[in-house]
Amino acid sequence: KAHIVHFAHFREWRLHGVAYELRDIVYNQPNRSLISTAYGRTKEFKDKYGADKGRSVSATGYWGDIINSPYHSFGTHCEEKKFFKISNKQFTHTAVDVAQFNVTGFLQELRTGEVIRLEEDEEAPRAEASRGVTSQEMMEKANTWSGEEGDVSALQ
C-alpha cells in the first residue's frame, strides 16, 4: 500500500519535515520536531592491535524511514477503492488525496454520524492545491480579483 506515496511528496517530507501542506501558505522553515542526533566514531586508522581509531563525530538528522512516515496514518488506506486506480503503471491519486478524503470523512462522521461514500459514477476527489494558484488561468483570474492586472504579489 505504500506505493501510493508519491516520490515527490516523500522527498519533500524527508527534506523539510512537512508531509501535508495545509491552507495557502508557504512553508519556509523545516519542521525540526523529529530531528535527533547520532553519535559515532570515524575510522581514520587502526592501532597496533587492529582496532579502529578515529575522531568522535555526531550527525543531526531524521533517521526514520517510510515505515514510520506520517503517510501511513491517513494516506495509504481507504475504503474507497477508486483512490487506488492504476493507469500507465502509476496511481492516478496520491497519498495526499487519500489523506484529505480520510480526514474529511472522519470529521464529517464525528460531526453528523454519517459516513461519506462516493457514488458509483463519482470520481475520487483530488486534494486541493496548497501553495496558492498553480495554473496560468488561475493566476490571471486571481489578478483580476485583486484589481491589478499582472501583479502576482497580491497572491502571496
* Domain carrying residue 115: 2-30+66-125
Query: Which residues lie below 8 Å from residue 118, measured CB to CB, with a gap of 6+?
Result: 80, 82, 124
The Cα–Cα gap between 101 and 75 comes to: 9
Provide the pLDDT for residue 111: 92
For 36, the 3-state DSSP assignment is: strand
Q: What is the pLDDT of residue 1?
A: 62
CA distances 5 to 27, 29, 93, 102, 116, Å, are 20, 23, 9, 15, 23
Tell me: the pLDDT tens digits for 80-116? Answer: 888 888 888 888 888 888 888 899 899 999 999 988 8
Q: Which residue has the higher pLDDT, 18 or 54?
A: 54
Q: Do the domain assignments include residue 48? A: no
Helix (H) or strand (E) holding 56: strand 56-61
Task: Write down the pLDDT at residue 152.
Answer: 46
Specify if 111 maps to a domain. Answer: yes
The whole-chain average pLDDT of the chain stands at: 77
Instruction: Tell me, yes or no, whether 17 lies in a domain.
Output: yes
First to last CA, the chain: 36
Q: How many domains does the chain divide into?
A: 1
Q: Residue 75 class from Cβ within 10 Å (0-12 exposed, 13-18 middle, 19+ buried)?
A: buried
Q: What was the pLDDT predicted at 136?
A: 54
